[in-house]
Chain A
C-alpha cells in the first residue's frame, strides 16, 4: 500500500483526475491506481477572482473560472414565480402556497430569496424530502426481502429518525456515527438519549435478508451491509472485494473481510422468516437491564403457573390456574422496541475463498480499509463499529465529505459534479469541476458538517437561480414563441457534467413522491402529520411463506415518504414513476416516460379522486374566480387570456358532451374533467 494520506501535499490537487488512472488496462488487482483524484486529500482552494457581476457566491467563481476558456451563452436569472416554485419543491417536495408566492414576488428586499430558503429549511417538510434521498441511498424498505418478505414493523422508527435528523441538521459526521454505532454511543450518553441513538442503527438492521432461513444466509446480508456502507458513505463499490481483490480500486479481500468481521460481530434484529416466523432481537428503547427487569418477573410467574398446572390434577384448581395463566399470558410487559443493531460476539472473520462461506480461509483481523489508513482495532473486545464510525468520519478521510457534498449538489441540480454518486473509484466519472467539489467538501467540514449550511451556499449562488432556458419568458403566452432574448456575455453555466454544455438550470420532472403529494395537496386531501407504524398484521398471526409471502398495499393520505414499501413487490405508484429500488442503493432516480404513466393520468381511480377533490375546491368559489384560482394553485401564476378562453370553451364543450347526465352531476363532472387537464399537464409535473 504505497498510497498514504500524508504523502501528497494538499496543493497537488486537482492535477490528476481522469485520464490514465481510469484506464482499466493499467489497473491491477488490489494495487492502488496511483493518484486517483478521489483518494487524495481534500484541498481548500481559494475562489478564483472573477469580476463580481455574475458572482454571488464562491460557487459562481469556481464555475465561471472553468468556463472562461469556453465562453458560452448563459440564461438570465429565473423569474420569481419560477424561483419560488423551484426552491419550494426542491427543499420540501411540495408546491408553494399562493400567499407564499405573493409574499416572495412582492418582496423587493435583497434578502428576499435567502429568507425563503431559511423558511423552507426550517419547515418539517424539508426533512420529509431530503430524508427520502438518504433513504433511497440506504435502500430503505418496510420488509426484509427474504423469500417470504417478512414485515419489519419497527423499521419506521429509523425512517422517521432520518427525517428528523435532516430537520434538526444533525451534523453529517455525527449522523453517520450514530447510524453505525448509535447503541455504543448510547452507552456513554445520558439515558434519555438512548432511544434515539439505538433507533439510528436501523441503518444496519434494514439490510436485506436472503433465502429461506435467513440465519443461514447472513453472509449475504453482511455483503449487503458492506456494499451499502461502501456506496452510501464512501462512494466505493466494496462488494467487489468479496470474491477477489477489487479489480480497479485499492480494496483487497483482506480489507473486505476486515470489515466483515465488524458486522459479523454485530447482532441485527431478526425480522422472521419462513421456518422462524417470529421476530427476535428487537432492541428495547429503554435500557436492556430495565427491560429485563420488567420481563423477567413475568416470565418467572408464567413458568411458576405452568409448573403448578403440570403438577396439579384437581380439576377446579386446574381451571382456576389455567384462567390465571391465560390472563397473565395476555399481560406481557410492553415497551417500545427498535429494529436495530447491538453488539454480538466480537470475533475476527475468516476470509471466504471466492466469497463462499463453505470455503473458509484464515481469520482476518478487523481493521480500517487500507485506503483510509488501515488501522487495526484498538479494542478487539468490541465489534469495532465505534472505531469504524470514527474512521469513516475522520476529516482526513478524502471520500466521505466529497461524496455527501456531491449528493447535495446533485439533489439541487439533478446531476452531480461527479455523475456516478455511488462510485468515486477509478471506474467512476471524474468531477466536472474538481475545485468546486473540493471547495464544497471543505466548506462542509468547516461548517461542522452542516447539511443545511451547504444547501444555503448552493441555493444562494447565481448558478442555482438561473432560468431553465435561455429563451424562457416569465409568463408563457399561449402560442407565440418568445423572441430570443439571448445574452452572449460569457458568464457561468449552471451545472453540468462535462458532456453537457448548456448554461441553464436543468428542467426536471417531479419525482414519484412529489407527484403524489402534489395531487393530494391540490385536492385538499393531504394529511401533513408524520407517519408512524404501518397496520401490519399482528406478529403472532404471521405465517408467511415463499408460496404465500407477505403482500399488502396500505392506502394513506399522508406524504408519500410514509407509504409502506416492500422489497419483493414494488408499490405500483412508486414503480410507475421511477421510485427507488428497495433492494439496492438508489443514488439517482430515473425519469422515464412511458405510456403506462399516461394511462395513469387518463384512467387511474386515485388520480380521478384527486381531480374531483380539486373540482370541489373550485366549485366552492364564485364562478369567475375558479379558473384564475386553479392556475394560481397548480402553476403559481395567472392564466393567460388564451387560457381563459380555452378553459371556457372546454367547459362548454364538455357540458354538451355530458348531455344526458343528471343535471346535479354535470357541474362536478365538468370541473373534474377540467381539473384533470391541469393535474396531468407537463407544466404541473415539471420544474423549470
Chain B
C-alpha cells in the first residue's frame, strides 16, 4: 500500500526536469524554500489519526439512487407473498391526502428469495452475484429515514440533515483523516449524472473548502481540466518552469507565507494529477480475469462496472472516501411505474458490486477498506391497487449493508414487520448508520465536530447511536 501512494517516479522526474528546464532557481533551493515555509499544521490534508485505532482506513460508499425496494431484494417477506391483495391501513406520508390512495393493498414481490453462503442470509434473485458474497456482508434490514422525498432523503443520507445544507460524510472523513495521496483528491464521487439535491451531496459546506468532493464523470475527461491543453508535454514543462520561477521569486520576497508555498506545490500536484488521474482510470493493464470479474468489456470507460473497478484503483492509491452513485436524479431505482425496472437496474450493478467485493478481498484490501451499500429509502410493500406495477417511496424501512474492515461479517441485523412496513427490531436510523460508519473509521461521532455559528456541528447533529451489533 505505502509504495502505491507516492507520486509515480515518472511524473516526479518529469516535473523536476520541467523545473530545471528554465529555472534560475535550482530544485534544491526550491525544496529549501518549501521546507522552511510550510508548517505541517497548516496543511489541511496532512494525515491525522482518528480518535481511536480502527481497521478501516478508507471507505467505498455505493449509493443506489431513487429508492431500492427492500422487499424485492434483501428483506424476504413470505407473508407479503401470501397476503397479496389484502387491504391494509397505514398513516403513511406518501398516501396522506393523496387522491386515489384512499385505500391501499399489499403487493407481492416479483422475485423469490433463497438462503446463500455459509451464513444463509436470504437474497432475492435480483442480486445473484452479490448473493455469493453474503458471508462478507452485514445486512441491515431495519434501516429507516426521516423523509420520503428523494431530495431530502438523499441529502439526509449524505449529510445527516434533511433540509439544510451541511457537510457531506465524505467531507467529514477528509477533514478528520486527511489524505494519503496528494496527487488525488481525498474525496471523490464517481457519478454519471447529478444526483438529487445536486452538489450539496458532496459539499464541504462550512468545513474548509479543501474537503469538498471532486465529481468524476465516467468518460473522456473524468475530472474537469485534467487533459493537458498545451500543445505538447515539452510546451507545458516550459510554461510550468516559467511559472515556477515567477512564483518562487514572489515567495522568496515574502518568506514564511504558507499559502504561497502551498500554491507553488499545488502546481506540482496538478502536474502529477495529469498523469496519475488518467493512469488511475486506465484499465488497460487490468487482466482479462479482473475485467471479467466486474463484467467489463476491454476498452469500456463508462458503466457501473467501470465505476467499481476505478474505485478499487482509487482506494489502492490512498483516496480516503470514494462514492459511487448509480445514475443520478433520473432513470434510476425510482420504480413507480413498473417494478420490473429493478431487474434491468440490478443486472447493471450486481456483478460489478460482487466483483468489487471479491477483488478487494483477494487483494487484502477488504481488511482496511469499509464498503457501504445503501439507497435513500425503500419502496412501499403496498400500492393503491394490488395490480399496480410499481411501488411508492417508503421511508419507514429499507435495507443497507456494510462489508469489510471492522464489520461483523455474515450477519443480518434488525428486522421489519411481517410485511416489511416498519423497522421493528433494532431499528437503525440514518444518524445511527452514520455514527456506526464513523466508529468503524475510528471516530466518536459526538467528538468529530466543527465550530460554526456558535455551535459545534457534527454529522449526526444531535442524534445517532453506534450500532454495536454490526461491529466485528
Contacts and interface: CB of A to CB of B under 8 A. Distances in A.
Nearest to B196: A546
B253 A482 contact: yes
Contacts of B198: 149, 549, 551, 566-570
B225 A602 contact: yes
Contacts of B197: 147, 568
A569 B151 CA distance: 13
B250 A599 contact: no
A643 B243 CA distance: 12
Contact of B259 (A509, A583, A688): A509
Nearest to A507: B257
Contact of A240 (B242, B251, B455): B455
B224 A594 contact: no
Nearest to A600: B225
A461 interface: no
A674 B267 CA distance: 17
B82 interface: no
Given A149-B198, A479-B24, A596 B247 contact: no
A151 to B, nearest CB: 14
B454 A248 contact: yes
A673 B273 contact: no
A568 B200 contact: yes
Contacts of A147: 149-152, 196-197
Interface string B141-169: 00000000111100000000001110000
Interface stretch (B232-240, B282-290, B407-415): B232-240
Nearest to A551: B194
Contacts of A591: 259
A187 to B, nearest CB: 34
Contacts of A472: 253-254
Interface in A127-183: 146-147, 149
Given A471-B255, A594-B266, A599-B270, A673 B247 contact: no
B392 to A, nearest CB: 13
Interface stretch (A104-112, A313-321, A678-686): A678-686
Contact of B455 (A237, A477, A575): A237
B210 interface: yes
A373 interface: no
Given A248-B454, A593-B263, A481 B252 contact: yes
Nearest to B229: A603
A602 B229 contact: yes
B76 interface: no
Contacts of A608: 229
A604 B423 CA distance: 49
Contact of A598 (B164, B227, B270): B270
Contacts of A547: 150, 196, 329-330, 334
A331 B253 CA distance: 67
Contact of B150 (A220, A546, A575, A649): A546
Contacts of A240: 454-455
Interface in A639-666: 642-643, 646, 649-650, 653-654, 657-658, 661
B185 interface: yes
A676 B247 CA distance: 13
Contact of A669 (B214, B231, B453): B231
Contacts of B164: 583-584
Contact of A603 (B22, B209, B227): B227
Interface string A455-473: 0000000000000110111
A237 to B, nearest CB: 5
A12 B221 CA distance: 63
B322 interface: no
A548 B329 contact: yes
A412 B470 CA distance: 52
A424 B439 CA distance: 34
Dominant secondary structure of chain A at its interface with chain B: loop
Nearest to B45: A594
B454 A673 contact: no
A677 B243 contact: yes
B72 interface: no
A507 B253 CA distance: 13
B259 A569 contact: no
A411 interface: no
B238 A237 contact: no
- For A220, A567, A592, A600, the residue with the greatest tally of chain B CB atoms inside 10 Å of its CB is A592
Contacts of B165: 581, 583-584
B454 A423 contact: yes
A210, A547, A548, A604 interface centre (most CB from chain B within 10 Å): A547
B24 A646 contact: yes
Contact of A479 (B22, B25, B203, B228): B25
B46 interface: no
B243 A681 contact: yes
Q: Chain B contact residues (Cβ within 8 angstroms of A): what range?
A: 35 or more
B259 A654 contact: no
Interface string A577-603: 010010110000011111111111111
Contact of B267 (A420, A482, A598, A646): A598
A427 B454 contact: yes
Contacts, number: 225
Interface in B22-62: 22, 24-25, 44
Interface string A503-532: 000010100000000000000000000000
Contact of B149 (A546, A598, A676, A678): A546
Nearest to A476: B253
B329 A479 contact: no
B266 A593 contact: yes
A496 interface: no
Interface in B185-223: 185, 194, 196-200, 203, 205-206, 208-210, 212, 214, 223
Given A428-B454, A551-B194, A468 B185 contact: no
Contacts of B252: 479, 481
A210 B163 contact: yes
A677 B455 CA distance: 43
A688 B253 CA distance: 11
B247 A681 contact: yes
B380 interface: no
A590 B211 CA distance: 12
A595 B269 contact: yes
B24 to A, nearest CB: 6
Contacts of B240: 602
A79 to B, nearest CB: 13
Contacts of A657: 231-232, 234-235, 238
B264 interface: yes
B249 A476 contact: yes
A254 interface: no
A472 B252 CA distance: 10
A211 interface: yes
Nearest to A224: B164
A682 B263 contact: yes
Nearest to B245: A646
Given A546-B150, A569-B199, A584 B205 contact: yes
B236 A597 contact: no
25 contacts: A147-B150, A147-B152, A147-B196, A237-B455, A427-B454, A476-B253, A477-B253, A479-B25, A546-B149, A549-B329, A551-B198, A575-B199, A583-B200, A595-B185, A598-B270, A599-B226, A602-B225, A602-B228, A654-B238, A673-B238, A674-B242, A677-B243, A681-B246, A682-B260, A682-B264
Closest 9 CB pairs of A and B: A568-B198, A598-B270, A427-B454, A583-B165, A592-B209, A147-B151, A595-B269, A547-B330, A603-B225
Given A420-B454, A595-B185, A654-B235, 5 more contacts: A147-B197, A481-B252, A593-B266, A596-B224, A603-B228
Interface of A: 146-147, 149, 210-212, 217, 220, 231, 237, 240, 248-249, 420, 422-423, 425, 427-428, 468-469, 471-473, 476-479, 481-482, 507, 509, 546-549, 551, 566-570, 572, 575, 578, 581, 583-584, 590-605, 608, 642-643, 646, 649-650, 653-654, 657-658, 661, 669, 673-674, 676-678, 680-683, 686, 688
